[in-house]
Chains A and B, each alone.
Chain A
């Protein structure tokens, strides 16, 4: 999916959905019992890593609301002048 330039600057973690799917696959594999002990431990470690990553994404704090604006080189975003609808009842 397309990402804006500012996304990269913020260090957005890679695809949440892919990580979730991978985690689901891992737990199914582990529960399937077809893996060797070595592979089971590897999968478990990978799953733990994924879960930590996913939790980090979930723990991200609220971002300031941006506004879509048109510039000469195309559309871009800029922060809203006010802190948000809760702070400024007049704008919203």
Chain B
């Protein structure tokens, strides 16, 4: 057995050895237990049983609360009192268990598992009242911690007092300081909720009244604006407005007619001009074409006439040519001076003349002269 010893250390003078004056001896159990607890905590934490992301949200308005605790003692009384005080209509289902001593941990774990299997509780409160560390030990047992971690029903742990922390608290979705506190966490104060509802109803009424008031104000300003405050006003305004409308309508029609007439006139002018221009252009083009054709014809005719005239002239010129005469058997006579002989009187016998035929020449000598010509002309009178 391990023990813890408390006392004073002293030296025994004759031998010079140390001696211990013991004042208190106690078992070393708690220290060993705490070491064991630390080891288990480390192991379960490594498994992720205490992870924050495993925590479930508690329902805001639970209908049924499951309670796992001892049926005897202050804890269950506190829980029931607070639950009913805050929310009288809440349904409470109790799973009475041993919370300390032999078999307590197994009972607690089994009750949690049973509630979870039943599925009727919206939230569980698991815990007990204050006590020594040994008294609370069941809530450090692995089987309890695992049952809490495995449950699908959200769990509030409530073990001992504020200062007491067990592994069950680490595994629970929410840790309460005390059993009463667990009940406070589990349900809202119905009076506060009632006040909220009353306040909401009041706010709804205010909003609606405000809305109606605004609409009424709008309507009134609308009525005022149109002079609809009284029936008489209504008729007067109506007649006035009708007259005004009629007058405005007449004016509008008049203006409109004048405007349209104006537009028509203008449009007509524009139309005539637009229509005439192409026609004139077309006419001009036709005239131009016709003129051009006529001109061409005239030129052709003239050219042809000229050509004919030229040809006729050429014929006549050809006829006038002395060579042409020679073709018909005539001959030209040239004197010694090389000039054509027109009269025999210019010649004397013995003169050599040159006879020019259509083809070739011949020299001849004058042998005899006779007066007068065969054509009856007098050679003397001729030059």
A and B: interacting chains: yes
Is B118's beta carbon under 8 Å from chain A?
Answer: yes
Contact A16 B61 (CB under 8 A): yes
Residues of B within 8 A of A91 (CB): 71-72
Cβ of B380 under 8 Å from chain A: no
1/0 contact trace for A63-80 toward B, CB 8 Å?
101111010001111001
Q: Are B200 and A27 in contact (CB under 8 A)?
A: yes
Asked if B246 is an interface residue, CB under 8 A from chain A, the answer is no
Q: How many angstroms from the CA of A76 to the CA of B59 in the assembled complex?
A: 22
User: Is A9 in the interface zone, CB < 8 Å from B?
Assistant: no
Q: Identify which of residues 197-225 in chain B touch chain A, using a CB-to-CB cut-off of 8 Å.
A: 197-198, 200-201, 203-205, 207-208, 211-212, 215
Interface presence of B104 (CB below 8 A):
no
User: Number of contact residues on A: which range applies?
Assistant: 35 or more
B residues engaging A (CB < 8 A)? 59-61, 63-64, 66, 71-73, 76-77, 80, 84, 87-96, 111, 114-115, 117-120, 122, 190, 193-194, 196-198, 200-201, 203-205, 207-208, 211-212, 215
Given contacts A31-B203, A62-B88, is CB(A4)–CB(B190) below 8 Å? no
The answer to whether A51 and B88 have CB atoms under 8 Å apart is: no
Given known contacts A1-B59, A16-B63, A58-B193, A67 and B93 CB-to-CB distance under 8 angstroms: yes
Beyond A2-B119, A37-B215, whether A68 also contacts B88 by CB under 8 A is: no
Whether A54 touches B207, Cβ cut-off 8 Å, given contacts A68-B93, A85-B76, is: no
A residues in contact with B194, CB < 8 Å: 55, 58
CB pair B95–A68 under 8 Å, yes or no, is yes
Residues in B neighbouring A12, C-beta threshold 8 A: 63
Is there an interface contact between A80 and B94, defined as CB atoms closer than 8 Å? yes
B204 — nearest CB in chain A belongs to which residue?
A47
Complex contacts, A31 vs chain B, CB 8 Å? 203, 207
List 13 interface pairs A-B (beta carbons < 8 Å), by A numbering.
A17-B59, A20-B61, A27-B203, A47-B200, A48-B201, A55-B197, A63-B91, A66-B94, A68-B94, A84-B80, A85-B77, A91-B72, A92-B76
Selected from B77, B118, B198, the residue in CB contact (under 8 A) with A68 is B118
Q: Tell me, in angstroms, the Cα distance from A67 to B80 when the chains sit together.
A: 13
How many angstroms from the CA of A74 to the CA of B203 in the assembled complex?
Answer: 48
Q: Are B204 and A44 closer than 8 Å at their CB atoms?
A: yes
Residue contact B211 to A61, C-beta cutoff 8 Å: no
Among B77, B90, B96, B119, which residue has its beta carbon within 8 angstroms of that of A67?
A: B96
B139 to chain A, nearest CB (A): 19
Which chain B residue shows the least CB distance to A84?
Answer: B80
A85–B94 Cα gap in the complex (Å)? 12
Contact A92/B200 with A1-B122, A3-B120, A66-B94 known, Cβ cut-off 8 Å = no
Complex-state Cα separation, A26 to B114, whole angstroms: 40
Nearest-CB residue, chain B, relative to A43: B204
CB–CB B114/A92 < 8 A: no
The answer on a CB contact under 8 Å between A75 and B117 is yes
Minimum CB–CB distance for A7 against chain B, Å:
7
Q: Judging by beta carbons under 8 Å apart, are B91 and A51 in contact?
A: no
CB <8 Å contact, B203 and A57: no
Residues in A whose Cβ lies below 8 Å from that of B89: 57-63
* B93 contacts A77, C-beta separation under 8 Å: yes
A41→B204 CA distance, assembly (Å) = 10
Q: A17 contacts which chain B residues (CB < 8 A)?
A: 59-61
Interface centre among A24, A44, A68 (most CB of B within 10 A): A68
A92:B72 contact, CB within 8 angstroms: yes
Q: Which of A1, A23, A44 contacts B208 (CB 8 A)?
A: A44
Most B CB atoms within 10 A — which of A26, A59, A63, A80?
A: A63
Query: B59 — which chain A residues lie within 8 A by C-beta?
Result: 1, 17
Please measure, in the bound complex, the distance between the C-alpha atom of A57 and the C-alpha atom of B187, giving whole angstroms: 14
Cα–Cα distance between A85 and B212 once the two chains are bound (Å): 54
Nearest 8 pairs between A and B by C-beta? A60-B89, A4-B120, A30-B207, A75-B118, A2-B119, A16-B61, A68-B95, A17-B61
Specify the chain A residue showing the minimal Cβ separation from B191.
A58
How far is it, in angstroms, between the C-alpha of A31 and the C-alpha of B206 when the chains are bound? 9
